[in-house]
Structure formats: C-alpha cells, structure tokens
Structure 1
Amino acid sequence: MNAAANAEAIAYVRNKLRWMRSQQIWPNGLRYLWTDAFGVVLLVSLFEELGERPFLDDAEWLVADVNRVLGRPLGIRIGEEPDRDGQYFHYLAMWLFALAMLGRHIPDYKQLGIDLARQIHEPFLVRGRGVIWKMQEDLSGPYPGVGFGAMDAYDGYVSYRMLDDDALSSEIADMQTLIDEYNPTLNITQDLGIGMMLWLTHFFPTEEWAKLQKQRCLETLDSMWNSAGYFCREPYLPDTRFAFTNFGVSVGLQAVCKMPERVRQLNEYFESYRSGDEYDQAAITHVMECSSHLPGCLINQTTRESHN
C-alpha cells in the first residue's frame, strides 16, 4: 500500500471508529471475543501507524473489559449475549494473537497470552484426534453435539508461535503433529475459512502445510468470485454473501499479495451493500471492515515479502 492509499485507509478507519462509538456499536457495545480480538489488533495498528498513545490506551482498556465481562477461571467466554455461551478455540487463538501484538509494546500482555494458552491447551486438545471446536464454558468437556475444528490446530500453531516459540514449545509441537496429519486431505470451501487460512499461511510461507493450503485456497476462492464484487459463501452458494466474511477474505488475500483488484472491488461493494438483517449494525461487520481497509499488524511485512 502506497503512502497516499495508507493515509486514506487510516482516515477511513478513524471515521468508522467515531461512527461506531456514536452508535454504541463498538468498543462501547456488547463484548464478543472474535470482534474484540480484531479490534485490539486494529488499535495497535493505529498506534504503530500514528504513534498516538490513546490508541494503545484504548487497546489496554478493551483487554481489561473483555477479561471483566467474558473472562472465566479458565479461558474466555464467546460473547456477552446469553446465546454466546461456551468457548471456541479459534476465537481464543485470535485473542492470543491480539495479545501478542499488544505485547510488542507492553510485554505484560505477551505473558498474559502465554498464561492463557497454557490454560486452554489441554482442555481443548485430544491427542491423536484433534482440537475440540467448542467447549463448555468451564472447559469441563465438549459443548453438546460438537466435534473437532478443521482449522483449529493451525490457529493454535500460529498464535502460539506469535507469542513465544520457546515458552510454548510443547504446545506448538502438539499442534504441528495434528497439522501433519490433517494437511494432506484438508480442503477448505467456506469463504471466511479460506481467508483466515490464507492469513495463517503467510506467517510461515515456506512450510509445507502453508504452501499446500495457500495453493488450494486460492484455487477454490477463484471459483467463488461473483463479478458483482464479492466472494460467495461456498462454491455451491453463488448468491449468498456476508460482508464480514468477505472482509476476512480480503485480509487473507492482502497477506499473500493476491487478487488486489478483487480486494478493492469487494471493499467498494460492501460500502453500499445492506443485508437487511442484524449484520448491518453488528460490530463484527464494521470492525472487520476496518481490518480490510487497514490490516496493519495483522500482516507480517517480513514474511509477506516472500509472496511478492
């Protein structure tokens, strides 16, 4: 992104943040761990871009509020609303990544992330089988009716490594073992899953799992493009679209330096698109839109260069 485009993206995000606050959407709305993880990264990104301490202060406030509202003796609840009970591993992994990014500037948050990773790892992990997708809120067992997450080992592997390769070496090895088992047959077809997998691959682009998943995801994603300006939900659902999932695809594509024109088009398309449901005002839509315009420290610029 050139300097002019970067300045435009920053201005867009600052205006969006002001609007979200005025509407009590975010960060002064209900807590939701996935959205708040992206939000922490966004605030850290703005601090890194502008050097304005209030953004870092806001990130610290947000972490404290998440812990106050959603924190449990072990782990962190999915969200504040009554139907957001239980714990998702992939949400927790995204939160660990956010803590790692904040920890670049305030080291205590890195340790907070390491401690949380150690709390949740054993309850979610079933060695030789996988990572449980969703757990009971006290982590006493799987949530009724759920199985293993297809991508959760990858989520954990990357987030653990972003925190500390040495401190979490045993946990990282557990996830690597699962990745080695899953990777030959894993084909992701859901839009957000593809976007997030592309994002994960860019951190370790020379590793075999990353090379294979990047190739598969890009091939599948190419078949999901609608010329109106969006990626459909699944290849067999050509007319189904969600703004927030497209923004996740955008982040993944920017991480691996692919399809820049489609990234531009989808940002334009969803600027005016309205789904007519709760997602039009939902924090997840607008925070992830900000991440699509300004991925910031979601993207590792050093490893990203290998994709150019």
Structure 2
Amino acid sequence: MNKEESVTLAEEIMLDFAAQTGLSREEKPQRRYLWTDAFAVCNFLELYHRSRDEEWLVLARSLVDQVHHTLGRHRPDSAKNGWLSGLSDEEGERHPTRGGLRIGKKMDERAPDEPMDERLEWERDGQYYHYLTKWMRALTRTSRVTGEPFYLRWGMELAQTAHRAFRFSDGPDGSLGLYWKMSTDLRRSLVPSVGQHDPLDGLVTCCEMRCAARHFPDEELPDLEREIRELTEMCRGREFSTGDSLGIGSILADACRTGELIINEAFQDLALFQHVVNDAVVSLEDSGGSFLDQPAKYRLAFRELGLSIGLKGAARLARLFEEYPDVRGGELAEWLQPRLEAMLWFHKLSGRIEGFWIEERRKGTEHWRSHGDINMVMLATSLAPEQFLRSD
C-alpha cells in the first residue's frame, strides 16, 4: 500500500470513528475514552496537515471540547457533579484539565472500602498517568497546528496536576515513582504499582511542551522545570526493555520524539537517550515478531498497531539524523547508525501488522469489533503517523 492509499484509508477510518462515537453525528451517543481520543486528535490534525481541509480541524477541536466536557467532569452516575477540579463552571471552562481527566471506563471506580479485584480493575474508571500524557501530547500538537497557546496551557496544567497527584516517594532513600492508577478525584491510588514506561513518557512529553512554549514568547505559561527534573530522576537506571508489543512501540516512539528534541536543543540528557535506544533494540531483537504467525483470536490489534507506530517512529528518527548528521558534533549520528540499522531491519513488520488488521477490519470480525474504537484509531495512526510522532 503506497502513502496515498494509506492516507485515503486513514480518512475513511477516521470519518467512521467520528460518526460511530457521537463526534460528527448528534443522534449517536457520545463514546469518549481518553487513550483512543488522544490518538484520534493527532489523526485529525495529520489529515488536516496533509489536505488543508478545514473539516478535519473542526473535528480535532470538537473532540478536544467533548473530551474536556465529558472526561474532565464527574460521571453522570456519580454523587458528585461538575469539573473534577472542583472549579466553578466558568473557571473550569478556562482550566478544564486542572483536575485531570477520567479514563472513560464504563464501570465506576471501586469504593474506598471495596476490596481489590485485579481482573475487574481493568474495567473500572479512574485516572491513568500514561493516558494523561497521551492527552498532553494531543493538546500540544493541537496548539502547534492551530497556533493557539491555550491548548498548550491546558496540556502543561495537566502535566502539573498529574505529576503532583501520581508522584510518590518511597524507601529510605526517598526514591521517586509514579502510581499506575489513581482515583477520579486523584486523592487515592487504585493500583499502587509503577508503570514501566510512565516516567519516560512523562519526561519526553514535558520536554516537548517546554519546547513548544518557545513559539509563544509573550505567553505566561506554566513552568515544568520541577516535573522535568523529578521525572529525569525517576528514569535513572530504569529498565525500559520489554517483550510487550505495545510497550516496544512506546519506547520506539519516545526514542523518535527524544531524538527530534535533541536536534531542537530541547533535550540534553544524551545518556538517557542512548539508554532508551539500546533498550528499544534489545526489545525488538528479543521479540522478533513471532506473534505474527498466530491466528487473530490470540492477538490484540491495538497492541500490535502500537508496535507498528513505533516502527514508523524508528524510520522517522533515521530520516531526522540523515537530515541533521552534525548534531552534537556528529558523534551522536555515528553512534546511532548501527542501532538505527538494527531497528529498521524490523520495519517490514509494520506492513505485515497493518495488512493483517486491515483485512480483519474489512471482514468485520468479532475479534476486531470487540475493541473497535481503539483498533480503528491506532490503525489510522499507523497509516498516517506524523502528527503523533512529531515533537517539534
């Protein structure tokens, strides 16, 4: 499938998503889910960037508005109402992310006195740090594409809120970490374990927002220095390698974004960047794409498509350093070369993943439809990934 065909299919998918989730058709009930919607915003922005058709930008703006007014407020079945932040209606409109954003699960979060059920917890609402970082990125890209600073402000305010709520200090040495899942009001941890890649994703995203703030020199935007400093500390000595396809895609995408930030002189920790790249290569080599031989019933589209997106990020990283080979005196590009070659050896997996799930979508199989919304948007991102992967 050539690039033009990929973009055409991405357009078809995103129009279907907008209609089916109540974004473009008022008669459809709204179906908002933070992870899915973050990818969808980036997709709409990419389709606008390519076509300059204002309708895509209208959809991106409308989706941001729906997410804030749905997931930035208490659930309809909650005893509470209004903005999660507790701000007045008027003040909440100006700062819709100050209280964080709900995941968007169908079930309410468990009560404080309710015992933990690991299986059921996946179906319950609350707030995930790694979903919030995806939304920060969507807001940052919206700000860059529209030239409007309030989107970036909302992203930076969300970064401060999330860091303050999810951050914890543990052990005699006072080491820092991030809880995996918090309650909707951000007052208690629902899953106290730590996400493997959350600090890295948070760090790269905060650096990206700080870089984007350069485009608005006359705006007084939030200061993320503390968040960046503490997230950097959390990343020290952390193991990023993983056998999970979505996790591999995540570190590949973060490596791509970090490389672009280095080129833009917005990320200084070269040792951390090299560590991320090395762990990405190890993860790819250990995984090997063996899952591709499994039937659909043993696979999850959105997890594999996350890997496909990350592989597109590796290709983008290679192009960036071909265009800017003299960054940091050229030594970084020289160090990267063999590792990029190792990453790109696996690039063919991306086409195989896309082809498999395009066919499953065409057939409308139950396995595809069971996670239909997230599968749709991540397939579209894989087909047209630039806005999701950019960090300039």
TM-score > 0.5 by shorter chain: yes
**Conservation of the 8 A alpha-carbon contact between 1:135 and 1:141:** yes
**Conservation of the 8 A alpha-carbon contact between 1:198 and 1:214:** yes
- 1:187 is matched by which residue type in structure 2? S
Q: Deviations over 1:54-93 (max 9, x none)?
A: 2111111111111111102111000152244110000000
Change (3 A) 1:18 1:58: closer
Matches within 5 A, 1:284-295: 284-295=374-385
- 1:69 is matched by which residue type in structure 2? T
**Conservation of the 8 A alpha-carbon contact between 1:130 and 1:149:** no
Aligned-partner Cα distance in 1 for 2:163–2:291: 42
2:220 equivalent in structure 1:
none
**Conservation of the 8 A alpha-carbon contact between 2:136 and 2:159:** yes
- Does residue 244 (structure 1) correspond to residue 307 (structure 2)? The answer is no
**Conservation of the 8 A alpha-carbon contact between 1:30 and 1:81:** no
- Does residue 221 (structure 1) correspond to residue 295 (structure 2)? The answer is no
Aligned-partner Cα distance in 1 for 2:138–2:391: 17
**Conservation of the 8 A alpha-carbon contact between 1:44 and 1:55:** yes
- Does residue 133 (structure 1) correspond to residue 175 (structure 2)? The answer is no
Aligned-partner Cα distance in 1 for 2:286–2:184: 38
Aligned-partner Cα distance in 1 for 2:195–2:61: 30
Q: Deviations over 1:116-146 (max 9, x none)?
A: 1112211111142311110111000211x43
Aligned-partner Cα distance in 1 for 2:370–2:152: 34
Task: Give the counterpart of 1:264 among 351, 357, 361.
Answer: 351
How far did 1:24 drift? 4.3
How far did 1:150 drift? 1.4
Aligned-partner Cα distance in 1 for 2:33–2:18: 16
Task: Give the counterpart of 1:201 among 255, 258, 267.
Answer: 255
2:76 equivalent in structure 1:
none
How far did 1:188 drift? 1.8
Change (3 A) 1:270 1:30: same
Aligned-partner Cα distance in 2 for 1:263–1:278: 18
Aligned-partner Cα distance in 1 for 2:71–2:206: 21
Change (3 A) 1:61 1:178: same
**Conservation of the 8 A alpha-carbon contact between 2:291 and 2:299:** no
Aligned-partner Cα distance in 1 for 2:71–2:101: 5
How far did 1:281 drift? 5.1
2:42 equivalent in structure 1:
41
Task: Give the counterpart of 1:211 among 261, 264, 274.
Answer: 274
Structure 1 alignment gaps of length 5 or more: 233-238, 303-308
Aligned-partner Cα distance in 2 for 1:228–1:93: 28
Structure 2 alignment gaps of length 5 or more: 73-83, 86-98, 108-122, 170-174, 214-222, 263-269, 316-343
Aligned-partner Cα distance in 1 for 2:366–2:56: 32
2:230 equivalent in structure 1:
174
Q: TM-score, normalised by structure 2?
A: 0.68
How far did 1:20 drift? 3.1
Matches within 5 A, 1:1-308: 5-24=2-21, 29-71=30-72, 72-73=84-85, 74-82=99-107, 83-104=123-144, 105=146, 106-127=148-169, 128-143=175-190, 145-164=191-210, 167-182=223-238, 185-205=239-259, 207-226=270-289, 229=292, 240-257=298-315, 258=344, 259-273=346-360, 276-277=366-367, 279-280=369-370, 282-300=372-390
Aligned-partner Cα distance in 1 for 2:100–2:187: 11
Aligned-partner Cα distance in 2 for 1:32–1:256: 27
How far did 1:278 drift? 6.8
- Structure 1 stretch 76-85 or stretch 170-179: which is displaced more? 76-85
Q: TM-score, normalised by structure 1?
A: 0.85
When the two chains are superposed, the root-mean-square deviation of aligned CA atoms in Å is: 2.6
